[in-house]
């Protein structure tokens, strides 16, 4: 059975993959148009990407130090972020 800590780590990894896709799309848009909005979206995605990579690392290395009462909240935050990134990804690709 997958623990909530593992589920949080996998969700953060999924977020990182989706954000990497957004970074690629936004960098191509910026290369073609030089629009400042595309640059801003790319920087925003890079910051969220770094946060998710750090989350995966911290979930993998610090899991024994995180108390069980916090796990549902960490998982909920990652699920909410995943839903938001999926909506942004779908909207961007349309």
pLDDT tens digit string along 56-73? 999 889 877 877 788 889
Structure letter (DSSP) for residue 1? -
What is the pLDDT averaged over residues 1-19? 89
Q: Is residue 49 part of a domain?
A: yes
Categorize the per-residue pLDDT at 82 as very low, low, confident or very high, splitting at 50, 70 and 90. Answer: very high
What is the domain count for the chain?
1
Q: Is residue 3 part of a domain?
A: no
**What pLDDT, on a 0 to 100 scale, did the predictor assign at position 17?**
96
Q: Is residue 76 part of a domain?
A: yes
Q: Is residue 4 part of a domain?
A: no
Categorize the per-residue pLDDT at 91 as very low, low, confident or very high, splitting at 50, 70 and 90. Answer: very high
Mapped onto helix, strand or coil, the DSSP state of residue 94 is coil
Q: How far apart are CA 46 and CA 66, in angstroms?
A: 26
Q: Is residue 6 part of a domain?
A: no
Q: Is residue 74 part of a domain?
A: yes
Q: Is residue 2 part of a domain?
A: no
Mapped onto helix, strand or coil, the DSSP state of residue 8 is helix
Residues in the chain: 94
What's the number of CA atoms in the CB half-sphere (13 Å) around residue 72?
Answer: 1
**Domain range for 85:** 15-93
């Amino acid at each position: 059975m997958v623990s909530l800590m593992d589920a949080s780590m996998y969700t953060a990894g999924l977020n990182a993959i989706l954000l990497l896709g957004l970074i690629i799309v936004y960098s191509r848009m910026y290369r073609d148009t030089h629009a400042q909005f595309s640059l801003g979206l790319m920087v925003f995605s890079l910051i969220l990407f770094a946060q998710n990579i750090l989350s995966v690392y911290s979930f993998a290395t610090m899991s024994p130090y995180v108390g069980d009462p916090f796990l549902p909240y960490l998982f909920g935050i990652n699920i909410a972020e995943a839903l938001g990134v999926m909506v942004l990804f779908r909207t961007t690709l349309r």
